[in-house]
Amino acid sequence: MTGPAALLWRTAGTLAAPLLPLYLRRRARAGHEIAERLGERRGCAGGARPPGRLLWIHAASVGETLSVLRLMDALAARLPDLAFLVTTGTVTSAGLLAERLRPALAPRVRHRFAPLDVPAWVARFLDAWRPDAGVFVESELWPNLIAAARRRDIPLALVNARLSPRSARLWARGAPGLARELLGAFRLVLAQSDEVARRLAALGAPRAACWGNLKYAADPLPADPAELERLRGLTAGREILLAASTHPGEEALALVAHRRLTAIYPRLLTILVPRHPQRGEAVALEADGLVGRHAEAPRLRVARRAAGQEPGPATAVYVADTLGELGLFYRLASVALVGGSLVPHGGQNPLEPARLGCPILLGPHTWNFAEPVERLLAAGGAVQLAPGPDLAAALAREAAAVLREPRRGQAMAAAAAAVAADQAGLPDRVAEALAELLPPRADRGAGQTLAAHGTTEKD
């Protein structure tokens, strides 16, 4: 990649490299990195490359990681000799990958944190792992990393691609040449929707297509059966409002809705599941203090799961601040708000509750999942709150409508489940296309011999 924008980005990455270790150490102190694995962010291998063919999958965070689990299963079944290198950028996604991999697949998978986009660091990473092909998931397009892979003739695919109208405009106005070079590096480009495919094609993606959305084909979120039964026993006879994967600002709105709903449903339990579990203590303090400021209302009785507390009969709000347990609470809930949608974050994945028979409420900000949301709304599988000054009142009103009419909630859940099950065969189709990017089994593949690539980047 030789255009001015690519050169500027490459230069910026090189100049920033001396400062980035300090940045990484600060992130580690805040819990956003694992201190013992910071070398991976500088491209250090942290282990030996497995023998044979290796497919590299880059899935930036939790949603992207979960969306490719069934794709990996399909590839593993098709290619018994294939090993996987999965790179992610967050501690949470690394933990969930370890939890969700099927036991039969886990020995074939290596996880590493993705190198920051410094030319020397991405060169070190690729030279150590020598992947035979690479798969980027959704929307992470790192110019130096992609350029380095292209120089090594590593076949690349972009799957389940996502590109908002705003991002498309920014690329088109600010760096159209760089966008064309980046997207031109991919031999296969599969978008989440036809609309996204058109945006990518306009920016230069060759033969961009939409075969479906891998998030429709993901497995249901898991839940420990014994723990689910135990929680059902603790909450029997109570209405449960779940606010799932919430972001700052949303818990306060859910708590105001809780106060309104308790006038009708005095035994209501509201469960708050913050998107980032480390916020749990702050969320619990907010829950206890927010209602406590109102003289006419008693202080909320709040329990925190990470602190070992239970949702007892006197508990009004339960903060579920643990990792990987959202499947428990979607199964437990009477009605659920999908977080990230009451504030302008763009929404979290509404297909997760759709697979678990839970009536779905959405805030007005859902552009991250525009196409699934459109299908859910059209099918009657979800209700979306209209933008307005009092989202808490709207949330209380729509939650009350579902709680008041159980048959309505059941119909919503059935419609949502049908939408979520629509593309069960997609992982097999995508796996077949990705298999064609890999060298024949007898050929050790692109990137195996460093001398073939003439890499010259220095630390």
The set of residues, in sequence order, having a beta carbon less than 8 Å from that of 187 and lying 6+ positions away, is: 155, 156, 157, 437
The question of whether 64 is a catalytic residue gets the answer yes
The helix/strand/coil state of 270 is strand
Helix (H) or strand (E) holding 190: strand 188-191
DSSP 8-state class, residue 215 = G
Distance from C-alpha of 341 to C-alpha of 367, rounded to nearest angstrom: 9
Do residues 333 and 232 lie in contact, with contact meaning Cβ atoms separated by under 8 Å? Answer: no
Dihedral sign, Cα of residue 41, residue 98, residue 336, residue 377: positive
Q: How far apart are CA 448 and CA 441, in angstroms?
A: 13
Reduced to 3 states, what is the DSSP secondary structure of residue 56? Answer: strand
For residue 329 the two structure tokens come to 């609470």
* Cα(420)–Cα(220) distance, integer angstroms: 10
The answer to whether 71 and 427 have CB atoms below 8 angstroms apart is yes
Catalytic hit among 40, 64, 398, 457: 64
Strands (E) in 48-97, as ranges, are 54-58, 83-88
- Please give the C-alpha separations between residue 143 and each of 45, 58, 86, 379, in angstroms, as whole numbers: 20, 14, 19, 40
User: Looking up tokens 């036991």, which residue turns up?
Assistant: 103
What is the maximum alpha-carbon separation in the chain?
75
> Do 347 and 373 meet the contact criterion of CB atoms below 8 Å apart?
yes
CA neighbours closer than 13 Å in the CB half-sphere of residue 191: 21
**Please, where are the H alpha helices in 249-324?**
250-261, 280-292
Q: Is 21 exposed, middle or buried (0-12, 13-18, 19+ CB in 10 A)?
A: middle
Residue 25 and residue 39 in contact, taking contact as beta carbons nearer than 8 Å? no
Are 163 and 200 a contacting pair, CB within 8 Å?
yes
Measure the CA–CA gap between 83 and 179, rounded to whole angstroms.
30
Q: Rounded to the nearest 5°, which phi and psi values hold at 383?
A: -120, 130
* Kind of pairing between the strands at 209-210 and 188-191: parallel
Q: Cα dist. 60→32, 87, 275 in Å?
A: 14, 7, 16
Catalytic residues: 64
